[in-house]
Amino acid sequence: MKILVVGSGGREHTLVWKLAQSKQVKQIFAAPGNAGIAEIAQCIDIAADDIKNLLHFVKDTQIDLTVVGPEAPLAGGIVDEFEKEGLRIFGPNALGARLEASKVFAKQIMMKAGVPTAQCEIFEDAQQAKDYIKAKGAPLVVKADGLAQGKGVIVAKTEQEAIDAVASIMENKIFGDAGNQVIIEECLTGEEASILAFCDGINFIPLASSQDHKRIFDNDQGPNTGGMGAYSPAPVISPKLMKEILNKIIKPVVDEMSKIGCPYKGLLYAGIMITKDGPKTLEFNVRFGDPETQVILPRLRTDLVKVMQAVIDGALDTIKLSWSKDSCVCIVASSGGYPGEYQKGKEISGLNDLKGRKGVMVFHAGTKSDNGKIVTSGGRVLGVTALGKDIRDAINNSYQAIEKIKFEGMHFRKDIGAKAIIE
């Protein structure tokens, strides 16, 4: 088999790494890929959202399976275009991708399906939104409706912060048309977890639980990022709680999508808050999480190609996932200044020291090759990942590994996984 993975981040490096382990795979391509991906796949200079050229490439190269990493091409209808041509592609169609591309659509689906979530109001008028904030009081969560690269959710501790967020999103258009509508919802408190599930339109299978660390600094301080690290499994998700999440959140959404004539096929990611009243849904994503993928796939023993084929064929009921008992921890090394402005082109040292180290994987997120050197080219640069017999062991192994890596301005959190030990 020839496989194309669309995307260029740490998630895509992990997908390439896992897919390459399948005996069915002969060759893997990545578009556009990165310096780490280039070591195990052939990188093609086509942007992840350039659907037309990706389609040409897949037909010309006779690719057997395309796996889409990021949300933008999914929302842009890459699956619809490929399926029109009779091509096999893993991911939801554009209608299904609205679960992430439109937070308003996702809320409407949750309400119809009776899924537990935060109470909310939806606004198309900025002044009405501000008046609602004054009447309601803080804390509140303000969300841009559309895709905003993970930055469209503002947790406002004061009324003024919430009003400023509405002004930024709806009036100053910091996220463009993604801010034509906003959702203002109650601020849920508790412990967060990420629950991912393969779906084939009717059947679904959950993956191992995980937890992401969104804030840039230790102890969950500072601005939100794309994710500064993760661990799996998440002790907060007991078998009983997992069952409740599947029955009250995943199943009703899969059923509701079928009911509206849009069977959901691909990977469904539910961001869950474990509140005192039970699990509630924060949001849905329509693809593998980043960096959750980096800690989930190293624990998966089942052939990922086989699972993805079953999703496409509507045959997930024939699949049983097998998991390693090991825990896994990923620490993200980011560029100085991220998630604000940062510099690129900083040479990375120490990568060779970690090659071949048992149970350690370095997934590249924002890197490129420059005259034989590997340099930084993004905000999140590397996901230094390690397995261990338990969470504490995996934490120790990943921190020992990241000490080998150096580049100018490099930043990483020192408390990834600490919550899992406290529990």
Q: What is the predicted pLDDT for the residue at 150?
A: 73
Q: Which SS3 state, helix, strand or coil, does residue 30 take?
A: strand
Domain ranges in the chain are: 2-93, 125-180, 191-318, 327-422
| C-alpha distance across the termini of the chain, in Å | 44
What are the pLDDT digits (tens) for 313-332?
A: 999 999 999 999 999 999 99
What pLDDT shows up at residue 149?
75
- Tens of pLDDT, residue by residue over 95-136, are 999 999 999 999 999 999 999 999 999 999 999 999 999 999
pLDDT at 423 > cutoff 70: no
CA–CA dist 55, 142 (Å, integer): 37
Q: What one-character DSSP code corresponds to residue 61?
A: H
CATH no. of 191-318: 3.30.470.20
CATH architecture of 125-180: 2-Layer Sandwich (3.30)
Digit-coded pLDDT (tens) for 293-309: 999 999 999 999 999 99
- Closest Cα partner for 185 from 273, 98, 112? 273
Spatial separation of the C-alpha atoms in residues 145 and 102, rounded to whole Å = 5
**Domain range 327-422, CATH class:** alpha beta
Judged against a pLDDT cut of 80, whether residue 151 lies above it is answered with no
Q: What's the pLDDT band for 408 if we cut at 50, 70, 90?
A: very high
Task: Encode pLDDT of 251-271 as tens digits.
Answer: 999 999 999 999 999 999 999
Q: What is the CATH number of domain 2-93?
A: 3.40.50.20
- Residues facing 273 on adjacent strands: 192, 280
pLDDT in tens, 333-372: 999 999 999 999 999 999 999 998 999 999 999 999 999 9
The identity of residue 413, as a single letter, is R
